Amino acid sequence: MSKSKKRKPVRYKTVQLKLTAGQKKSLENYCRMRGTTPVKVIKKSIRPLMENYKDAKPAFPVVKAKQLQLFEIEAG
């Protein structure tokens, strides 16, 4: 009989967000109509962002040619 390896526990992080009273009421009504919970609705909505950008490296913003550059240091 082989022993099965114990799975590594999943670590969760807490995220907080604030909603207005109207937004909360709207979310609760939506969940009641669909028979789901607010957490499931929010997680389903942001799932593409959580999965597609996990390993992506943030790119530096590109400075446009006509953008005003303050404190520009000239060499020479």
Q: What is the pLDDT along the chain (76 residues), one digit of tens a residue?
A: 667 888 999 999 999 999 999 999 999 999 999 999 999 999 999 998 888 888 888 787 776 676 666 666 665 4
In a domain, residue 7? The reply is no
Counting other chains too, the contacts that 24-30 makes at CB distance below 8 Å and 24 or more residues apart are none
* Domain count across the chain: 1
**56 vs 16, 47, 59, 62, CA distance in Å?**
23, 15, 9, 17
In a domain, residue 45? The reply is yes
In a domain, residue 25? The reply is yes
Question: By the 8 A CB rule, do 37 and 31 touch?
Answer: yes
Question: By the 8 A CB rule, do 40 and 46 touch?
Answer: no
In a domain, residue 41? The reply is yes
In a domain, residue 11? The reply is no
The whole-number pLDDT of residue 37 equals 97
